[in-house]
């Protein structure tokens, strides 16, 4: 028990003294996670809305594929991205391997099906009377679509939170695609895995505390957004 308390004490010292190595991992995690979630939302909201709002041939098959990708192994995603951006891959000339942009690509692929599937579910669970009511009031198809999208804003926010939680805590993609290079591509999760294996328990706790703070901050923000939306 003493080594846990001692590790916690040392972790607080690292955080409050601005340890460069600790905050390097925090900075890289923040950059990659924010870029990946923005890309996931930018790419995934529209397909998710279309999937939940419209009927088209093969919709059930598409929905099955999207839902199946929610449980796609992250290590496999990392392996596939590595195969494409490595020197022998089709995108090898772009120099993306072991870089932050390369990690963002992998993390975006991880978050994309979450955003798409949960957005589609949010649209499908809207009140079925919304569309007929809007049409009765003389709304155009475009206005109906925009209003429906606005009514799903809370569901989209929850999708963003779920995707961000998966992205920020990812290890496999960050390790395979990023290479866990100190000062360059080492994230919080890969640093925790490495430092703990080296016996540097204090740094592992420090970075774990940062992840917990991020998780609480996201939950508080979503709760505040929900309260504002319900007013």
Task: Dump pLDDT digits (tens) for 67-102.
Answer: 888 888 899 999 999 999 998 889 988 989 999 999
Rg (CA), the chain: 21
- Pairwise CA distance, residues 84 & 101, whole Å: 13
- Pairwise CA distance, residues 40 & 164, whole Å: 9
- Tokens coding 112: 């994309």
- Pairwise CA distance, residues 132 & 130, whole Å: 6
* N- to C-terminal Cα separation, the chain: 47
Q: Identify the top-confidence range among 79-88, 126-135, 142-151.
A: 79-88
CB atoms within 10 A of CB 87: 9
Average pLDDT of span 107-111:
95
Burial 22-61 (b: 16+ CB within 10 A, else e): bbbbbebbbebbebbbebbbebbbebbbbbbbeeeeeeee
- Decide if pLDDT at 7 tops 70: no
Q: Name 120's Cβ contacts closer than 8 Å, sequence gap at least 6.
A: 48, 49, 51, 52, 63, 66
Query: Domains of the chain by range and CATH?
Result: 25-188 (1.10.3720.10)
- Pairwise CA distance, residues 19 & 13, whole Å: 8
- Pairwise CA distance, residues 105 & 39, whole Å: 9
Residue 15 vs residue 231, higher pLDDT: 15
8 Å CB contact between 229 and 153: yes
Banded pLDDT at 183 (limits 50, 70, 90): confident
- Tokens coding 179: 């290479």
């Amino acid at each position: 028990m003493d080594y846990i308390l001692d590790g916690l004490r040392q972790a607080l010292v690292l955080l409050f003294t601005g340890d460069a190595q600790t905050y390097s991992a925090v900075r890289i995690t923040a950059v990659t996670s924010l870029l990946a979630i923005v890309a996931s939302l930018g790419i995934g909201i529209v397909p998710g809305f279309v999937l939940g709002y419209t009927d088209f041939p093969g919709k059930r098959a598409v929905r099955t594929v999207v839902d199946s990708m929610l449980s796609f192994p992250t290590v496999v995603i990392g392996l596939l991205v590595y195969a494409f951006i490595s020197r022998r891959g089709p995108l090898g000339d772009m120099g993306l391997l072991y870089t932050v942009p390369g990690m963002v690509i992998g993390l975006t692929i991880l978050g994309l099906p979450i955003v798409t599937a949960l957005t589609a579910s949010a649209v499908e669970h809207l009140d079925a009377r919304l569309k007929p009511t809007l049409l009765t009031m003389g709304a155009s198809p475009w206005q109906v679509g925009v209003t429906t999208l606005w009514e799903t804003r809370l569901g989209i926010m929850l999708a963003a939170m779920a995707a961000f939680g998966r992205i920020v805590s990812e290890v496999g993609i960050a390790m395979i695609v990023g290479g866990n290079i100190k000062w360059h591509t080492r994230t919080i999760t890969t640093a925790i895995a490495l430092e703990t294996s080296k016996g540097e328990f204090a740094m592992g706790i420090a970075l774990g505390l940062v992840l917990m703070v991020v998780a609480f901050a996201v939950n508080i923000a979503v709760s505040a957004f929900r309260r504002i939306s319900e007013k």
